[in-house]
Structure 1
Amino acid sequence: MEQGAILQDVAALHVRLGRASMPMVGGGPSVSTQIAALRRLLFGWETKDKETGFWFKQASEGVVPLVIDVDSADVMASLLIMKLEVEDRIGSTMRMVFSGASEAHLLAKEIGDANVGVILRPSRPFPLAWDQRRILPGPPLTSETNLVKLLRNGVVAALGVSEACEARNMRFDIQWVGELI
């Protein structure tokens, strides 16, 4: 690595919202509790002298993007409403990105209007969990894919990988999607 090659130590603040994929003892917190906790953190519940408070303040002010690993369209809709509340209360523009986003096509227009980015993981969806059940599978079952629908609605979207071994096939997935655009 060359001197000065890394320009920024912290690229984004990452959180995960949704139902637990693995059953937890006691069930774990509900989705509404998770969103309420995120809202409180973004509103400044933790003081800035603590690491958590500092980074959530940075995210609420739009200094660093808030990347939320989420698949459910219902949760994404709640997060879009929360984003408006935070921006209204803080007086700044939050930079939010949905990662995973299996059901993002259901809210493509709203996501585009809210200026929220999307990282689709995996690029070819398969519903492994309940929050991923309403996928847009693409050809031959549907005429468009999640990515195509997002791009047509003005969403800044990208394809991502969950496992390093998926990266080698990404060129084929990009071409598969590119034929539909």
Structure 2
Amino acid sequence: MKNLIATLALLAFSLPAAAQDIAVRAGTLHIAPGESVTDGVVVIVDGKISAVGPVAETDIPEDLMTIEVPVVTPGLIDARSTVGLSGYLNQPHDQDQLERSDAIQPELRAIDAYNPHEKLVEWLREHGITTVQTGHGPGEVVAGQLLIARTTGDTVDEAMIEPVSALAATLGEGATRHDRKSPGNRSKAVALLRAKLYQAMEYRDKRESAEEDKQPPRDLGLDALVDVLEGEIPLIIEAHRHSDIMTAIRLADEFGFRLILAGASDAHLLVDEILEADVPVIIHPTMYRSRGSSDYQHISFTTAAKLMDAGIEVAMQSGFEGYVPKTRVVLFEAAMTLPYGASFDQALELVTTAPARILGIDERVGSLEVGKDGNLALFDGDPFEYTTHVLGTVIEGRRVSERRR
């Protein structure tokens, strides 16, 4: 049966490109973490899931093209990346993920730099990643804005899901390692951020109280920070050392903004504090290199499982790599949590339902439910097994990748 399904899969992927109506049948269908069926099917019409469940209980229109593969999961989600801004050539002309001229630059928009044709976007797509939050990387106190995009589309507008999804910030050594004098240490970095947030509060109050013809001059950076203060978008703070994590939590409490922790190498030392603050974590890639910075000295393969077991919402990220190939693949990073305490369902949650919830897009993606986007990752075996291949990727009913990876 397995060989038959694999053969049918290969035959199916030799067919011409499909429209947005398709049925995908799987020997094992993972509808969501903890919910799977044997011999299941997903029916996608007009890019949306119209039916999902066991084949014996699901109506498949006769004229609908059907493909068969051994295993299907929801399309995978990378919760924090720089792809589309950082390029695979690793040359100055394709590295737009970080602007070093100033410590605080909330006015920088990821949408103005994102390249949907970048090879790294294709690389992620070929490994089952259908959705990515990407933009300016860690390395400045406020690096710029992030966006959420599909890993397909000929233009930025076609790829876009959320043009502004969050503001990216950094605390700790990552915010002070540059060739400028300021900020030179942690206290200065936090002081700069706190002062800018207070400035944004004053700017907001002036704009709200001033008459229409007496509005203060528009400030794009303060506008973005006002969105953070108003809860329109979260502030994602890259913080690894335990003291920096606590600083981020204190700032969120002081100013009342929505905080998402990223990186968080020391998060396993602060489980109770993070849980009490009700802050989600976009954990560092499991195989992140611990050398090169004292901030990573407590990095651990077991952190993701410990946080999830404690009830903290955790998602996986590819992050930013300063060396070729310039990005990680969250499929592999999630797989590496399995030998270190995570269950299969927890690993799948790290790259499907959890990032969807954290990013606020769970009404559209993250699980295979009627009405959600028809995003699927197709495999010839257990998604987290080293010998398994990705057979293709479906985004809103379109087979956007047919390569066997």
Q: TM-score range by the shorter chain?
A: 0.7 to 0.9
The structure 2 residue matched to 1:108, chosen from 243, 256, 271, is 271
Return the structure number with greater helix share: 1
Contact preservation (8 Å) 1:59, 1:95: yes
Question: How far apart, CA to CA, are the structure 2 residues paired with 1:59 and 1:123?
Answer: 29
Q: CA deviation at 1:66?
A: 0.4
Q: Which structure 2 residues correspond to residues 1-181 of structure 1 after superposition, within 5 A?
A: 1=153, 6-20=160-174, 22=177, 24=179, 26=181, 28-45=183-200, 47=203, 49-87=218-256, 94-128=257-291, 129-135=293-299, 137-138=300-301, 145-162=302-319, 163=321, 165-167=327-329, 169-177=332-340, 178-179=342-343
* Distance change (3 Å), C-alpha of 1:54 and 1:127: same
Question: How far apart, CA to CA, are the structure 2 residues paired with 1:39 and 1:176?
Answer: 41
* Distance change (3 Å), C-alpha of 1:117 and 1:171: closer
Q: CA deviation at 1:63?
A: 0.9
Question: How far apart, CA to CA, are the structure 1 residues paired with 2:190 and 2:182?
Answer: 16
SS of the counterpart of 2:298?
coil
SS of the counterpart of 1:11?
strand
Q: CA deviation at 1:9?
A: 0.7
Q: CA deviation at 1:25?
A: 5.9
Q: CA deviation at 1:123?
A: 1.6
List alignment gaps of at least 5 residues for structure 1: 88-93, 139-144
Question: How far apart, CA to CA, are the structure 1 residues paired with 2:258 and 2:190?
Answer: 17
List alignment gaps of at least 5 residues for structure 2: 1-152, 205-217, 347-405
Question: How far apart, CA to CA, are the structure 1 residues paired with 2:241 and 2:252?
Answer: 16
Instruction: Return 44-53 or 116-125, whichever deviates more.
Output: 44-53
TM-score, scaled relative to structure 1? 0.78
Q: CA deviation at 1:39?
A: 1.7
RMSD (Å) for aligned C-alpha atoms: 2.8
TM-score, scaled relative to structure 2? 0.37
Contact preservation (8 Å) 1:43, 1:60: no
SS of the counterpart of 1:158?
strand
Question: How far apart, CA to CA, are the structure 2 residues paired with 1:95 and 1:38?
Answer: 15
Contact preservation (8 Å) 2:241, 2:266: yes
Name the residue aligned to 2:31: none
Q: Which has the larger radius of gyration?
A: 2
Question: How far apart, CA to CA, are the structure 2 residues paired with 1:85 and 1:12?
Answer: 19
1:103-141 Cα shifts (integer Å, max 9, x gaps): 111112211211211111222354221011123x34xxx
**Identity of matched residues, %:** 24
Contact preservation (8 Å) 2:183, 2:189: no
Question: How far apart, CA to CA, are the structure 1 residues paired with 2:304 and 2:198?
Answer: 32
Instruction: Return 118-127 or 164-173, whichever deviates more.
Output: 164-173
1:86-106 Cα shifts (integer Å, max 9, x gaps): 12xxxxxx2111111111111
* Distance change (3 Å), C-alpha of 1:95 and 1:22: closer
Structure with the larger RCO, 1 or 2 (CA within 8 Å, 6+ apart): 2
